């Protein structure tokens, strides 16, 4: 920790590009039918490279980031949440899901116009809500062809051929279903290209995150949310894979030049689970203490794919292309894709919170952290599962932990003032005062 140190800062050069890509993503989906293209909806974790084999005019709307965009707009979000509750759905269900359903019920697209109904649903399932989310979408919008895959084959440290087979066989079934549903002939070349793009983007994102091990950190988490989101939208696209390489080069350059995310970094933290999207200002409040969240298992491992490096550190997983593997056919592409994705860090805690605690403790150590903020997130049971055990485990491992309750997508369940007070107290326990206070 650099006491009262001042670092030089600079805005990200690629900031405008990331905003442009995100805007284009939502527009492409909405306008797909104008181009005689196809629209599909599914989760950010779905095997999005697979529908790419249907053609280059296929656009998606991934549910969680779309719902997070709604949550950021508190007025619209509240209307969505209330519409969902009025339709009879429980208030304690996933907040993303409720925002998304509300957008359908109100028939309002968060980016303008009416809600664009998908041509088919392509989803995966690991938490209780994933496939069920779209079952309700079908209840609300009328019948939409729906294919969901089960990915809960067990933790990656127990990977076995039959687990890969389970996923790959469902993928093959899914491709057959896609052909039947859309009437299109599937193109394996497009699949292979998309899978390779995804290997590249998810590994590169992990590499970008490793640069935050540097003190001062070149990125802070609030900014990272705007960057990682591309991987939740279109991780299989060439544009996103190329963008992440561009970003990686810029972040590396920031490290080389000593450019920091905040000028007064003196306390390094990480968060956990999604933030309360309507209240990202809390990250700016933290900066008043010289405190920076350098990321989280969430921002690193939601889309980033990682591996143990020979020196014992955590780093980007080596892609099949880097290993010299030539992908020749559909089955090989799907096998590599299944194995790759099953190693996703944010899937491991579904089987045991203790696996997550180990990963978090590892981040805390390798990223030189002073403390950990745990968002007990009422809006997401999937990422909050086991969080109380994470708290116990991290404390046992010797890390200061601050827990706070909130909701990523329901502003009615986040008390900003109280969280700020709690943060003040946490800073006090770490012996850190606000800038200008002696």
Partner 1 sequence: MSQASLDRETFEVFRNWRINRAQYAKEWKHRTGGKVMGYFCTYVPEELIYAAGILPVRILGSHEVQDVTEPHIFAMFCPFCRDCLAQGLKGKYDYLDGITIAQSCLHIRQAFTSWQKHIPIDYSYYLPMPHHVQSPRATPFLTKELELFKGSLEKWLGKTIDDQAIDNAIDVYNRNRQFMWKVFELRKGDTPPLTGEEAMELVLSSQMVDKQDHNAALEGLLTRLSKREKTRPAGTRLMILGSEDDDIEFVRMVESCNSTFVIDDHCTGTRYFWNNVESDGDRLGRIADRYVTRVPCPSKDWPNRTRVDHVLKLAKDYGVQGAIVMQQKFCDPHELDNPALIKALNGAGIKTLFLEFDVTVPIGQFKVRVEAFLEILQEDDLF
| Least distance in angstroms from the C-beta of 306 to partner 1 | 22
- 143 is an interface residue for partner 1 by CB under 8 A: no
- 163 is an interface residue for partner 1 by CB under 8 A: yes
Out of 27, 139, 256, 428, point to the residue binding partner 1 (CB under 8 A): 139
| Least distance in angstroms from the C-beta of 44 to partner 1 | 18
Nearer residue to partner 1 within complex by CB, 54 or 149 = 149
Out of 128, 325, 329, 429, point to the residue binding partner 1 (CB under 8 A): 128
* 204-223: contacts with partner 1 (CB under 8 A): none
Q: Mention every residue, 6+ apart, whose C-beta is less than 8 A from residue 404.
A: 373, 374, 375, 376, 418, 419, 422, 423
- 99 is an interface residue for partner 1 by CB under 8 A: no
Distance CA 99, CA 396 (A): 37
Out of 242, 376, 397, 430, point to the residue binding partner 1 (CB under 8 A): 376
Q: For 32-184, where are the alpha helices, taking DSSP H only?
A: 63-72, 74-86, 95-106, 130-141, 161-182
Distance CA 196, CA 323 (A): 12
- In this structure, the strands spanning 58-62 and 306-308 are unpaired
How much of the chain is helix, strand and coil, in % rounded to 5? 55, 15, 35
| Distances from the Cα of 228 to the Cα of 11, 19, 119, 231, 247, angstroms | 17, 12, 27, 5, 11
* 3-32: contacts with partner 1 (CB under 8 A): none
Nearer residue to partner 1 within complex by CB, 150 or 435 = 150
- 165 is an interface residue for partner 1 by CB under 8 A: yes
* 381-410: contacts with partner 1 (CB under 8 A): 381-382, 384-389, 391-392
Distance CA 372, CA 391 (A): 9
Instruction: Give me 241's structure tokens.
Output: 């894979």
| Least distance in angstroms from the C-beta of 285 to partner 1 | 24
Check: CB of residue 305 under 8 Å from CB of residue 340.
Answer: yes
Check: CB of residue 226 under 8 Å from CB of residue 25.
Answer: no
- Which segment (64-72, 134-142, 208-216, 285-293) binds partner 1 by CB under 8 A? 134-142
Out of 32, 94, 240, 303, point to the residue binding partner 1 (CB under 8 A): 94
- 229 is an interface residue for partner 1 by CB under 8 A: no
Check: CB of residue 345 under 8 Å from CB of residue 359.
Answer: yes
Which residue ranges make up the site for partner 1 (CB under 8 A)? 87-90, 92-94, 125, 127-129, 131-136, 139, 146-150, 152-154, 160, 162-163, 165-166, 169-170, 173, 350-354, 376, 378, 381-382, 384-389, 391-392
């Amino acid at each position: 920790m650099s006491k009262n140190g001042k670092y030089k800062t600079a805005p990200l050069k690629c900031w405008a590009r990331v905003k442009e890509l995100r805007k284009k993503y939502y527009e492409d989906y909405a306008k797909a039918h104008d181009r005689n293209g196809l629209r599909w909806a599914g989760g950010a974790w779905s095997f999005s490279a697979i529908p790419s084999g249907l053609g280059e005019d296929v656009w998606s709307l991934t549910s969680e980031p779309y719902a997070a965009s709604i949550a950021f707009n508190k007025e619209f979000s509240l209307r969505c949440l209330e519409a969902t509750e009025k339709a009879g759905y429980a208030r304690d269900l996933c907040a993303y899901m409720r925002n998304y359903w509300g957008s359908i019920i109100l028939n309002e697209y968060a980016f303008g116009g009416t809600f664009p109904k998908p041509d088919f649903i392509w989803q995966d399932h690991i938490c209780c809500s994933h496939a069920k989310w779209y079952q309700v979408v079908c209840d609300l919008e009328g019948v939409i062809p729906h294919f969901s895959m089960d990915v809960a084959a067990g933790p990656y440290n127990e990977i076995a051929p039959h687990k890969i087979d389970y996923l790959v066989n469902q993928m093959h079934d899914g491709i057959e279903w896609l052909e039947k549903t859309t009437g299109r002939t599937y193109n394996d070349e497009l699949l292979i290209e998309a899978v390779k793009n995804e290997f590249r983007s998810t590994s590169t994102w992990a590499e970008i995150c490793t640069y935050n091990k540097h003190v001062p950190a070149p990125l802070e988490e609030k900014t990272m949310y705007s960057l990682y989101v591309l991987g939740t939208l279109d991780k299989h696209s060439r544009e996103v894979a190329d963008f992440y390489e561009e970003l990686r080069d810029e972040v590396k350059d920031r490290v080389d030049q000593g450019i920091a995310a905040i000028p007064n970094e003196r306390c390094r933290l990480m968060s956990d689970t999604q933030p309360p999207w309507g209240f990202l200002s809390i990250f700016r409040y933290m900066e008043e203490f010289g405190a920076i969240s350098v990321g989280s298992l969430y921002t690193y491992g939601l889309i980033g794919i990682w591996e143990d490096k020979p020196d014992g550190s955590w780093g980007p997983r080596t892609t099949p292309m880097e290993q010299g593997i030539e992908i020749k056919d559909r089955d090989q592409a799907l096998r590599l894709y299944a194995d790759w994705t099953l190693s996703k860090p944010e899937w491991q805690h579904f089987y045991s919170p203790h696996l997550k605690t180990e990963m978090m403790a590892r981040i805390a150590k390798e990223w030189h952290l002073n403390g950990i903020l745990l968002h007990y997130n009422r809006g997401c049971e999937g990422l909050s599962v086991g969080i109380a055990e994470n708290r116990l485990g991290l404390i046992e491992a010797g890390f200061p932990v601050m827990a706070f309750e909130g909701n990523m997508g329901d502003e009615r369940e986040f008390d900003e003032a109280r969280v700020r007070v709690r943060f003040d107290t946490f800073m006090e326990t770490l012996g850190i005062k606000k800038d200008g206070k002696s």
